[in-house]
Amino acid sequence: MNVELISVGTEILLGNIVNTNAAYLSEKCALLGLSLYYETAVGDNEKRLEETLKTALSRSDVVILSGGLGPTQDDLTKETAARVMGKKLVEDKHSRERIEEYFKNSSMKKITENNWKQAMVPEGCIVVDNQNGTAPGIIMEENGKTVILLPGPPNELKPMFEHDIFPYLNKKRPEVIYSVMVKLCGVGESAVETQIKDLIDKQTNPTIATYAKTGEVHLRVTASAPDEKEAKRLIRPMVKELKNRFGNAIYTMDEQVTLEQAVIQMLRGRELTLTTAESITGGMLAARLTNVPGASEVFRQGFVTYCNRAKRKLLDVKKTTLKDYGAVSEKTAKEMAKNGAFITGSDVCISLTGIAGPGTEEDKPVGLVYMACSYHGKVTVREFHFKGERAKIRESAVVKALTMLRECILAED
């Protein structure tokens, strides 16, 4: 079954927003085993949108449009799609009631007249409730073709797709698609590919797809079968083999779990407390950790010691260490971690100090980062050399710190 994506909105063409919806929908279509050959962005222009949709329907079984379902005059997606599909618009009582309820429970008590436009739907369509906004999703089926309309805001589109559209599309397939995401850290993409090249070369069903992230590699194992039970049976040996090959480098097999969530879970499971001591990353590591619900159970304190004076005053880094070895050094990183753990009484403290650039410091290269992890008094120090511009170096350092923290705990276990 072929699927095509159309993203509607002049703001996309102007570069005012990044089209994350298309990336999300593309990934989900691949997961469903749908063939995606075309992806288009079109502005808020009725004529061009109509031409784009007609072209898409001439070559694809399913067309998914996102955006242009709002209450304003330039929101033309629903009206245009209904006309192309030969359907007139009628008021959906259920959608009108939901819009009333939405405004009743929001700070905007008054409903302007143009909001009722969103309660008008193509006759005979399937209406999909929007749990996070006022514009409902719409599914139209006609002559073997399907047109799906989704709201543009990602916080509305994604939940709607997950809850309603994904199951709908999955049922249209003759077979069930099931997948497992195996997430790794501490190993590079090229190394991962080398280790699984034999599996990729002979893959049929299930298949393996690799996705490189900053400091991580994700492996999606996907199988198709008449039912979910059989698909799971097909996947099981492949996942077992990946576990054998990568061991502790696998930090989760739950697609929704991030690296920082896995670290927090690890700390919580071992009843460990954590402190961070950051220089180069300026609190980015602490921010990622505290984004995780329940982080307060394990996260004790975060130090941001960007200058030498702060390192001395807050973390008791010796003046002679900073003078003789510099702020970016193995010795400084070690004292930051050791003293951070002692001062806060934490079981673990991870420290980072380095040079993000663009200028160099202390005659040391941009991208040089030292990290230290103090775990129950034992301190491990590592040196890293990251590539890229300033933001990339800092992001890479944060991911590597999470990985190192995890590795140090596993090593002691």
**pTM for the full predicted model:** 0.78
Q: Are residues 166 and 201 in the same domain?
A: no
Domain end (from 141, 172, 203): 172
Q: Are residues 45 and 145 in the same domain?
A: yes
Inter-residue contact 234 to 205 (CB < 8 Å):
yes
Q: Are residues 208 and 146 in the same domain?
A: no
Residue with more model confidence, 69 or 101: 69
What tokens were used for 311? 């390192």
Inter-residue contact 162 to 137 (CB < 8 Å):
no
Domain end (from 153, 172, 191): 172
In the prediction, which pLDDT does 105 show? 76
Q: What is the CATH number of the domain that holds 16?
A: 3.40.980.10
Q: Are residues 10 and 159 in the same domain?
A: yes
Q: How many CB atoms lie within 10 A of CB 134?
A: 23
* 107 pLDDT higher than 70: no
Read off the pLDDT band of 332 (50, 70, 90): very high
Q: Are residues 113 and 80 in the same domain?
A: yes
- Report the alpha-carbon distance of residue 193 to residue 184 in Å, rounded: 12
Q: Are residues 72 and 155 in the same domain?
A: yes
Q: What is the CATH number of the domain that holds 216?
A: 3.30.70.2860
Contacts of 21 (CB under 8 A, 6+ apart): 7, 66, 67, 150, 152, 154, 157
Tally of structural domains, the chain: 3
What's the domain range around 264? 259-412
In the prediction, which pLDDT does 298 show? 98
Q: What is the CATH number of the domain that holds 267?
A: 3.90.950.20
In the prediction, which pLDDT does 79 show? 96
